[in-house]
Amino acid sequence: MLHPVGPLPAAVYWRRRLLVLTLLLAVLGGGGWLLVAALTGSGSGGTATAAATTSPTAEPAAEPPALERVVPSLASVQTPTPAPEPPAEPAPEPAPTPGGPCSDDMIELAVRTPGSAPVGGKPTFELVVTNVSTVPCVRVLDAGLQEVLLLDGGGNRVWGSNDCFPESSSDTRTLAPGESVTFPLVWGGLTSEPSCTAERTTPAPGQYAVRGRLDTEVSAEVPFTIS
């Protein structure tokens, strides 16, 4: 083997042997690389398959459009609620003028009674006018502007002080703050009506009410008993 025999020179046979040996090494080396590549590819494929089997692919989260990322949604924008406007205050009433006329708001009208009277009695009623303002004022207190009424339980008119014997006088006064003026009126104990033409009779016993008036100002009603 180490000493080739043949008609050709020995160098020719050595070159042939080297060529065959080189080809053999090349074939063996290429086959080894193919085997390694095959084994490596098989392992990667198995891992990928197992991963695909055991873990499903997660879908990427949907991102909002670019415009929504810059401009907020109208539903998420909170509009400030305007504060309620305070209620309008009423205009102040003009202050009364000292020495001017006493308006109905500046006086208080009340009627006083003895509380009760027997049938046919002649009780005295009093009409009281008081200046309840803070300044002096002038009021016309003529007798023709004064009136006292007797009403039954149903509110019907029974008697009036100006029905049959009306009085007249000229009486204008300046009332100081808190000053009161009293006017007595006597009832004759009989019924009456404004024309004083109807028959006058004695009211029956029962519960009645008395009310006073001074021109346009009217007092509250006061209970009165006829027994």
pLDDT digits over 104-160, tens only? 999 999 999 999 999 999 999 999 999 999 999 999 999 999 999 999 999 999 999
Residues 221 and 110 in one domain: yes
Host domain of residue 175: 100-226
Q: What is the pLDDT of residues 26-65, one digit of tens each?
A: 767 666 666 656 666 555 554 444 444 444 455 556 665 5
Residue-by-residue DSSP string for 27-76: HHHHHHHHHHHHHHHHHHHHHHHHHHHHSPPPPPPPPPPHHHHHSPPGGG
Residues 203 and 107 in one domain: yes
Q: Return the bridge partners of 220, or none.
A: none
The residue among 151 and 85 whose pLDDT is bigger is 151
Give the closest residue to 119 by CA, choosing from 197, 221, 189.
189
What pLDDT, on the 0 to 100 scale, is given for residue 15?
Answer: 76
Residues 105 and 215 in one domain: yes
Total domains present in the chain: 2
Characterize 73-86 residue by residue with b for buried, 16 or more Cβ atoms within 10 angstroms of its Cβ, and e for exposed: eeeeeeeeeeeeee
Give the closest residue to 123 by CA, choosing from 132, 135, 114.
114
The answer to whether 173 and 139 are in contact (CB under 8 A) is yes
The rounded mean pLDDT for the chain is: 82
- Kindly state whether residue 221 falls inside one of the protein's structural domains: yes
Q: CATH code at 134?
A: 2.60.40.2360
What pLDDT, on the 0 to 100 scale, is given for residue 193?
Answer: 95
Residues 106 and 210 in one domain: yes
Pairwise CA distance, residues 44 & 36, whole Å: 12
The proportion of the chain whose per-residue pLDDT surpasses 70, expressed as a percent, equals 70
Q: What is the pLDDT of residues 161-220, one digit of tens each?
A: 999 988 889 999 999 999 999 999 999 999 999 999 999 999 999 999 999 999 999 999
